[in-house]
């Protein structure tokens, strides 16, 4: 073996062997990172050796292929010829489970040591005491459950081990199953220690997601205090001012931890969050570290969520934690004498307190230091979102210019943003007719790219081979939603017109699209009697005679939407009126620019000229609800909405 200073490949500092059963997933010990080491462990009675570079475990020349879902096993053919002999042959016979985004985040935090002293997914005793007392069963403070819930048929009843893999089919760890209590019909909770097989490879900004041991070593080498700040939202002027102020007070280095598992606030996508935080870094103290962390959001109280942030920050070397809320567990604003109970040394918490922008000194500062009435308050997410949606310039006092550019990239103006318009209704309701008319009208305008997902192309390419079972109907909507999301991702408008009878499938399609663009649900509410009268194929009559089963509206239910953005009844509206109503909604919402000959007050969907009850805004459609809230919010008058929106008149919802 080469000397540490030889400069030859494979040089190393120390050799460390973990005890049997304690492989590379064992929590990292405190202290400086070792440049190279040989790590040994056992899996199913066989030794596994791996070389660790900068304390990050990488199995030599191992490549895994093919995504395999739960209840299936890895086959010999799916392992490449480069697998080392030390890899246990039993691995090919163990069942495999593909983890969700949240589960992948938890696994990474477990195997990297961030969740120390946890070595795996919690059992019944730990989960119960965490829920009741906020501690593990042995009394160690712990705020939130870290559990693995899977379908009951995902793992054979006699399985003792389970290979955990990512969505690309790369095995990441092995779970040794110690418990599998049932939770509810069709769902079980698996518990037991996990042994890492390899480091996660996928995901944006992977090069920034450093091992906590490396970060701790770098921060410890510099000495002094470290102020940690974890966030799911881009940094604005207030955040920058607070971070600079408290880092200066503590004479501390700054550690910013963007939380990249789950939706980010305002910008949705985690990669957009990281870009925005990096854009703010030039305005932060020199030496600021930015390390993305896959901590998933949890349904926890403010204090429990804060304790989880404290665990993560401490694992990466923070000595103090800045909490972005006026009051934290009773701590006086701006004080350092409160602490969070976390495993190991308690971490002091700084409550940021109430800040505002002082236009006279042109800085953000504590509200108490600003002359009453002179302050400028921070905009809410809804107000800031309205500015981004309209394409208006973001004030420099509110957001640093570099961050503003990233916000506009992540959330372009609605006139440039991708959109899915999802028509739903009974067969014969007129949804396809409206969808085709809308596609033609948008094509004639020429200012947006349009894709119509309806008719023979969908039936032959997306729906081919599917039956009318509920599972296949849901799969059909999922396929259409996926394609619509891809259209929206690239700034186009996708017009979809399936029956989509089930609320759950519609909600899943909305969720897919809203990760990358906007989603409008239009309920074509034409009565079933009118739909049956229009039926030229006699399908309704056959269904009522029992000749056709599973027919929506007759022998299969249609779950009427309660989250529609627009409701249209074509029994009393012409095709032209219905298309115009959708166009006016798109114009009022900013997805289309107003034409030069279009009157300024014609933005509302309720002004279509048709009978009132035949056309109305949906009772609680998210997109329209946001528009209404912005129009009724007096604070938005200060930031000036686009002229087209200011002239919009909305009809009453019914």
pLDDT tens per residue across span 486-542: 999 999 999 999 999 999 999 999 999 999 999 999 999 999 999 999 998 999 999
Three-state DSSP class for residue 47: strand
Q: What is the pLDDT of residue 618?
A: 59
More confident residue, 496 or 20: 496
b (16+ CB within 10 A) / e for 391-402: eeebeeebbbeb
Torsion sign across C-alpha atoms 608, 610, 616, 622: negative
- Of 31-40, 83-92, 256-265, 603-612, the range with the lowest mean pLDDT is 31-40
Task: Answer whether 360's CB lies under 8 Å from 341's CB.
Answer: no
Q: What is the pLDDT of residue 457?
A: 79
Rounded Cα gap, residues 250 and 469, in angstroms: 63
Categorize the per-residue pLDDT at 622 as very low, low, confident or very high, splitting at 50, 70 and 90: low
Q: What stretches of 207-319 adopt beta strand conformation (E)?
A: 226-231, 253-258, 289-290
Q: What is the pLDDT of residue 650?
A: 29
Model confidence pLDDT, tens digit, residues 189-216: 999 999 999 888 778 899 999 999 999 9
Model confidence pLDDT, tens digit, residues 135-180: 999 999 999 999 999 999 889 988 999 999 999 888 999 999 999 9
Rounded Cα gap, residues 17 and 47, in angstroms: 11
Tokens linked to 81: 């010829």
Q: What is the pLDDT of residue 201?
A: 79
Structural domain boundaries of the chain?
36-196, 209-409, 419-646
Q: What is the pLDDT of residue 12?
A: 26
Give the residue-averaged pLDDT of 281-307: 90
Three-state DSSP class for residue 442: helix
Contacts 24+ apart (CB under 8 A), 281-285: 281/256, 282/402, 283/240, 283/244, 283/400, 284/240, 284/243, 284/244, 284/247, 284/254, 284/256, 285/243, 285/244, 285/247, 285/248, 285/253, 285/254
- Does residue 293 carry a pLDDT above 90? yes
Count of C-beta atoms within a 10 Å radius of residue 249: 14
Q: What is the pLDDT of residue 413?
A: 95
CATH superfamily, domain 209-409, is HUPs (3.40.50.620)
Q: Which residue has the tokens 């990249």?
A: 260
Q: Could you tell me if residue 379 is left (phi over 0), alpha (psi between -120 and 50 degrees) or otherwise beta?
A: beta
pTM comes to 0.76
Q: How far apart are the first and last CA of the chain?
A: 79
Rounded Cα gap, residues 358 and 369, in angstroms: 9
Three-state DSSP class for residue 411: coil
- Does residue 281 carry a pLDDT above 70? yes
Count of C-beta atoms within a 10 Å radius of residue 42: 16
Q: What is the pLDDT of residue 371?
A: 92
Categorize the per-residue pLDDT at 576 as very low, low, confident or very high, splitting at 50, 70 and 90: very high
Task: Answer whether 421's CB lies under 8 Å from 522's CB.
Answer: yes
The alpha helices in 223-301, defined as continuous H runs, are 237-250, 270-280
Q: What is the pLDDT of residue 617?
A: 65
Give the residue-averaged pLDDT of 89-101: 88
CA 638 to chain centre: 31
Rounded Cα gap, residues 615 and 564, in angstroms: 12
- Tell me the CATH architecture of domain 36-196: Roll (3.10)
Rounded Cα gap, residues 474 and 488, in angstroms: 21
Give me the residues paired with residue 120 across strands: 193
Write down the mean pLDDT value for the chain.
Answer: 80
CA 138 to chain centre: 33
Model confidence pLDDT, tens digit, residues 62-83: 333 223 333 344 443 343 434 4
More confident residue, 442 or 86: 442
Q: What is the pLDDT of residue 595?
A: 66
Q: What is the pLDDT of residue 597?
A: 63
Q: What is the pLDDT of residue 198?
A: 87
Rounded Cα gap, residues 36 and 230, in angstroms: 30
b (16+ CB within 10 A) / e for 135-173: bbbeebbbbbbbbbebeeebbeeebebbbbbbeebbbbb
Categorize the per-residue pLDDT at 58 as very low, low, confident or very high, splitting at 50, 70 and 90: very low
Model confidence pLDDT, tens digit, residues 320-339: 999 986 555 544 444 444 77
- Does residue 57 carry a pLDDT above 90? no
Q: What is the pLDDT of residue 72?
A: 40
- Does residue 625 carry a pLDDT above 70? no
Exposed, middle or buried: residue 110 (CB in 10 Å: 0-12, 13-18, 19+)?
Answer: buried
For the domain spanning 419-646, the CATH number is 3.40.50.300
Domain 36-196 and domain 209-409, same fold? Reply is no
Model confidence pLDDT, tens digit, residues 30-47: 443 333 332 333 333 333
* Percent over 90 (pLDDT), the chain: 63
More confident residue, 559 or 86: 559
């Amino acid at each position: 073996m080469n000397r540490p200073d030889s400069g030859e490949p494979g040089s190393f500092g120390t050799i460390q062997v973990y005890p049997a059963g304690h492989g590379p997933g064992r929590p990292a010990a405190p202290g400086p990172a070792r440049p190279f080491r040989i790590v040994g462990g056992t899996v199913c009675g066989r030794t596994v050796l791996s070389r660790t570079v900068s304390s990050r475990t990488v199995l030599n020349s191992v490549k895994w292929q093919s995504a395999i879902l739960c209840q299936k096993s890895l086959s010999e053919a799916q392992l490449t010829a480069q697998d080392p002999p030390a890899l246990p042959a039993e691995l090919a016979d163990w069942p495999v489970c593909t983890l969700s985004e949240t589960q992948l985040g938890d696994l990474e935090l477990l195997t990297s040591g961030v969740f120390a002293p946890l070595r795996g997914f919690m059992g019944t005793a730990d989960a119960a005491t965490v829920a009741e007392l906020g501690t593990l069963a042995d009394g160690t403070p712990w705020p939130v459950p870290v559990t693995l819930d899977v379908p009951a048929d995902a793992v054979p009843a006699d399985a003792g081990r389970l290979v955990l893999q990512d969505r690309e089919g790369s095995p990441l760890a092995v779970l040794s199953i110690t418990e599998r209590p049932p939770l509810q019909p069709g769902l079980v909770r698996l518990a037991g220690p996990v042994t890492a097989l390899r480091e996660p490879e996928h995901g944006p900004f992977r090069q920034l997601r450093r091992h906590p041991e490396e970060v701790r070593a770098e921060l410890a080498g510099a000495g002094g205090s470290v102020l940690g700040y974890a966030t799911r939202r881009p940094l604005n002027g207030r955040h920058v001012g607070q971070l600079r102020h408290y880092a200066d007070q503590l004479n501390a280095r700054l550690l910013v931890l963007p939380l990249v598992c789950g939706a980010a606030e305002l910008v949705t996508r985690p990669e957009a969050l990281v870009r925005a935080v990096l854009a703010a870094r030039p305005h932060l103290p020199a030496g600021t570290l930015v390390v993305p962390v896959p901590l998933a959001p949890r349904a926890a109280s403010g204090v429990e969520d804060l304790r989880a942030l404290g665990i993560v920050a401490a694992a990466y070397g923070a000595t103090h934690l800045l909490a972005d809320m006026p009051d934290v567990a009773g701590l006086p604003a701006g004080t350092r004498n409160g602490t969070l109970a976390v495993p190991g040394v308690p971490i002091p918490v700084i409550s940021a307190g109430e800040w505002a922008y002082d236009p006279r000194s042109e800085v953000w500062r504590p509200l108490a230091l600003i002359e009453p009435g002179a302050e400028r308050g921070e905009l809410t997410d809804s107000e800031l979102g309205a500015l981004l949606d309209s394409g208006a310039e973001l004030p420099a006092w509110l957001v640093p210019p570099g961050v503003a550019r990233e916000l506009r990239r992540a959330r372009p103006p609605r006139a440039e943003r991708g959109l899915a318009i999802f028509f739903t209704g009974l067969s014969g309701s007129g949804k396809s007719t409206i969808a085709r008319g809308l596609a033609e009208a948008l094509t004639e305008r020429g200012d947006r790219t349009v894709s119509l997902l309806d008719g023979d192309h969908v039936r032959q390419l997306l729906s081919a081979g599917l039956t009318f079972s509920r599972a296949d109907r849901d799969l059909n909507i999922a396929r259409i939603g996926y394609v619509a999301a891809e259209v929206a991702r690239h700034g186009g408008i996708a017009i979809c017109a399936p029956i989509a009878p089930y609320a759950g499938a519609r909600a899943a399609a909305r969720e897919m699209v809203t990760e990358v663009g906007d989603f409008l649900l239009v309920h074509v509410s034409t009565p079933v009697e009118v739909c049956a009268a229009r039926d030229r194929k006699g399908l309704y009559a056959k269904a009522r005679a029992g000749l056709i089963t599973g027919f929506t509206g007759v022998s299969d239910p249609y779950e009427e939407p309660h989250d529609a953005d627009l409701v249209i009844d074509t029994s009393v509206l012409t095709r032209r009126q219905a298309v115009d109503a959708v166009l006016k909604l798109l114009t009022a919402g900013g997805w289309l620019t107003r034409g030069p000959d279009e009157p300024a007050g014609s933005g509302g969907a309720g002004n279509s000229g048709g009978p009132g009850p035949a056309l109305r805004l949906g009772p609680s459609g998210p997109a329209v609800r946001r528009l209404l809230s912005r129009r009724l919010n007096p604070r938005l008058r200060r930031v000036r909405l686009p002229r087209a929106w200011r002239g919009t008149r909305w009809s009453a919802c019914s």
